[in-house]
Structure 1
Amino acid sequence: MESWIFKKIRNTSRTRLVACCGIIIVALLACVANRVYLVNFFAGPHLQKPEELAAISDVTAYDKRFARIVGTDVINTGMREVVTSRSKSGVETTEAEYSIYAVKVGDRYLPIISDSGSHLQYNGELVTMPRELSVELPTTAAEGKPAFYPFVLDSSKNYRTPGYWGLGALALALAAAAYGISKARGYLRDPSSHPLIQRMNAWGKLTDISHQIERELRNPRIKLSGAKLTENYVIKQSLFHFDVARHEDLVWAYKSVTRHSYNFIPTGKTYAAIFHWNDTHFTLSGKEKHVDAALDLCAQQAPWAMFGYDADLEKEFGKRKHEFTSMVSQRRQDTLASAAA
């Protein structure tokens, strides 16, 4: 019969597997939803002919929005687009300022928003004409024909920049999902390969340890965020994570107090117990009395461990963890030897 620990590992691994597959599905759906942008990203900019521009009735529905415009004449309209932002205090600041040019493509002019000066060729995104600009530009030429296209080319931004960030994030998400799937499948096939099992093998017979933890969990001593402290163990479990550590293996623990404020007005405090073992660590938040009780329990069960925060201790633990752990291990041996004498 499979042990309780193995079942817990399989359950969390199965949940992780489903979640990672969900990440991949969401990533693929995001690609489908942004397929027009992706086609433009990889295939653009598309050289736009006058007849293609003239055929556009709704630029938001046009597929080749990442465009290259080559004109026969360019004029400076004298107008500018100013991008501003407003802070929480209501102060408005100017973030950027762009000139608006008009390039003749065919028998009409195409407004260009640019910060690169006057040219006959521009690359950018075809976007809806801002209302302020449509009011300022003449709608018809002397011959009664439209003087301007009803949209603009925004050349002030690099069209591909959002794509680089998005594809980078997508690649990281897919890589993380693939790694998660690989790990989860491995633990589903063989729970004994899980790091927790390898740690617990040093504690004694696995089935006995599993039964002891399961039995103690029925009446935990203390409950903190996502974790339960029993007589001998700290069990941390959530939908995607399961871990167990012994009190007697504790290396260092201390209380963390975070003060919160809004506009320099104190709004409260949050408390957490920080536990460090040789190969894992837990940060467990809760009410102050529960955090204190958890630290007291660990101090009773592992009096050789280091308790309390100190900047020198943190520096020592971070830079020389092996020596720190060895020192606590020696304290443990000395304490047990004194108790046996």
Structure 2
Amino acid sequence: MWENFIGREIRRCNRNLLTINVIVLVIVGAVVAFNWGYLTNWFRGTAAIDPLQIAKLQSADDLARNFVKFDVPEVLESGFQEVEEKDGKVVAVKADYQITWVGGRALVLKTKPNSTNTHLEGALVKVPNDVMAALKRDVPAERQGVLLPFMLDTVDYRDDGWWILGLCVPMVALALWNLNKWSRRMNDPASHPIVKTLGGEPAVVQYGPQLDMEMTGGGEKVGAATLTPSFLVVPNAFHTNIARLEDAAWVYKKITKHSVNFIPTGKTYEAVVWTRTGTMISVNGKEAQVEQLLATVATRAPWVVGGFSAELDNAWKKDRAGFLAAVDQRRGAAKGASAGAAK
């Protein structure tokens, strides 16, 4: 039953759904792997450490757990701050750079403004180059060796973890949700939105052979869409809209104007086709292509209501039954006229 055009489209959409979400999981896995050490520290929190041990380190990376906490007798102002500027003026102080002594070595601290806290918790990280250069300018050359090449960041050392979680957790949840959809649709093709949009499994049985035959013939191409004698088919990465022209009810051209800084940059054109089931199919293309598509639909389904107006939009949204009744009257008149012409 599914070895036909509809089945192939279902498999194509499922394959794309699987591929993109596996890629998402791989990307998340790579981000987690790259930040594994940081995330391990982030989840485990700060570990107590003797300040004398810090003095013996050559690098912040010498510790597997570089989220640490310890107490010091005092902290000293260095005179350097991290500030926010606007129009060349300081508008806010974001952090102070202070100094504390640990085992005869000077450890730079990044703290909240005006902090006097001697119980310190944070992450041992590399001192920014500009900060280290500024500090060394104020220290005699023979004393510069006392400055440790890393600092304790007590301010925003956990921020990256929140960013990673905030991005990765929703991505993983979305990917798993989509993979669940993929599995369900693989096991039950009739549950795919393509089938539901067309009218369910009975519609596939009824219209599938005709659709196969018409798609084999090629149809008329308008952008990504294919218009056959009886169907409008518009595929995208994860779905394929298939509408019977017999079900077409309302068609119109949609023009979207684009601008940058209020300067017009162009227009895009869409052919919009509404079916009696409430499915909207949009086809992008050049203006001439869009107009040709709408004209062809109107020729093959002469009962459709053409054009857009506020009155038609209001009737479609608020009185769908009345709108479709008018379409059915037009259908009857069109088919009656066609039958009369055939005689």
Common fold by TM > 0.5: yes
- State the SS of the aligned residue for 1:122: strand
Aligned to 1:45: 46
2:185 and 2:191 in contact (8 A); partners too: yes
Whichever residue aligns with residue 108 of structure 2, its letter is P
Give the alignment of 1:159-308 within 5 angstroms.
159-201=157-199, 206-217=204-215, 218-224=217-223, 226-262=224-260, 264-277=262-275, 278-308=277-307
CA offset at residue 42 of structure 1?
A: 0.2
CA offset at residue 180 of structure 1?
A: 1.9
Identity %: 28
Give the alignment of 1:99-178 within 5 angstroms.
99-118=96-115, 119-137=117-135, 146-157=145-156, 159-178=157-176
Flag the 1:136–1:203 CA change in 2: closer, same or farther, 3 A.
closer
Give the alignment of 1:17-28 within 5 angstroms.
17-28=18-29
Q: TM-score, normalised by structure 2?
A: 0.80
Distance in 2, Cα, partners of 1:262 & 1:200: 39
2:315 and 2:323 in contact (8 A); partners too: no
1:140 and 1:148 in contact (8 A); partners too: no
CA offset at residue 73 of structure 1?
A: 0.9
CA offset at residue 209 of structure 1?
A: 1.6
In the TM superposition, what whole-angstrom CA distance separates every residue of 1:179-206 from its partner, at most 9, and x where no partner exists?
Answer: 2222222222222232332443579763
Q: TM-score, normalised by structure 1?
A: 0.81
- Asked if residue 334 in structure 1 is aligned to residue 334 in structure 2, the reply is no
Flag the 1:52–1:272 CA change in 2: closer, same or farther, 3 A.
farther
- State the SS of the aligned residue for 1:283: strand
Distance in 1, Cα, partners of 2:249 & 2:38: 53
2:99 and 2:106 in contact (8 A); partners too: yes
1:12 and 1:239 in contact (8 A); partners too: yes
CA offset at residue 328 of structure 1?
A: 2.7
Segments of structure 2 that go 5 or more residues without pairing to the other structure are 337-343
Structure 1 range deviating more: 45-54 or 327-336 = 45-54
Q: When the two structures are aligned, how many residues end up with a matched partner?
A: 330
Distance in 1, Cα, partners of 2:11 & 2:127: 56
1:140 and 1:147 in contact (8 A); partners too: no
- State the SS of the aligned residue for 1:56: coil
Whichever residue aligns with residue 218 of structure 2, its letter is N
- Asked if residue 70 in structure 1 is aligned to residue 71 in structure 2, the reply is yes
Whichever residue aligns with residue 290 of structure 1, its letter is Q
Flag the 1:276–1:337 CA change in 2: closer, same or farther, 3 A.
closer
Whichever residue aligns with residue 194 of structure 1, its letter is H
2:230 and 2:244 in contact (8 A); partners too: yes
Name segments (4+ residues, structure 1) moved above 6 Å.
Answer: 139-143
Whichever residue aligns with residue 327 of structure 1, its letter is G
In the TM superposition, what whole-angstrom CA distance separates every residue of 1:54-75 from its partner, at most 9, and x where no partner exists?
Answer: 2332335754343334321111
Distance in 2, Cα, partners of 1:310 & 1:122: 67
CA offset at residue 83 of structure 1?
A: 4.2
Distance in 2, Cα, partners of 1:301 & 1:93: 68
2:14 and 2:182 in contact (8 A); partners too: yes
2:273 and 2:282 in contact (8 A); partners too: yes
Distance in 2, Cα, partners of 1:300 & 1:93: 68
Distance in 1, Cα, partners of 2:67 & 2:305: 62
Whichever residue aligns with residue 229 of structure 1, its letter is L
Distance in 2, Cα, partners of 1:244 & 1:94: 60
Aligned to 1:88: none
- State the SS of the aligned residue for 1:149: strand
Distance in 1, Cα, partners of 2:68 & 2:314: 56
Aligned to 2:60: 59
Give the alignment of 1:78-117 within 5 angstroms.
78-84=79-85, 96-97=92-93, 98-117=95-114
Whichever residue aligns with residue 193 of structure 1, its letter is S
Flag the 1:276–1:62 CA change in 2: closer, same or farther, 3 A.
farther
- Asked if residue 29 in structure 1 is aligned to residue 26 in structure 2, the reply is no
Whichever residue aligns with residue 49 of structure 1, its letter is D
Flag the 1:186–1:128 CA change in 2: closer, same or farther, 3 A.
same
Flag the 1:79–1:339 CA change in 2: closer, same or farther, 3 A.
closer
Whichever residue aligns with residue 161 of structure 2, its letter is G
CA offset at residue 290 of structure 1?
A: 0.8
Whichever residue aligns with residue 187 of structure 1, its letter is R
Flag the 1:42–1:236 CA change in 2: closer, same or farther, 3 A.
same
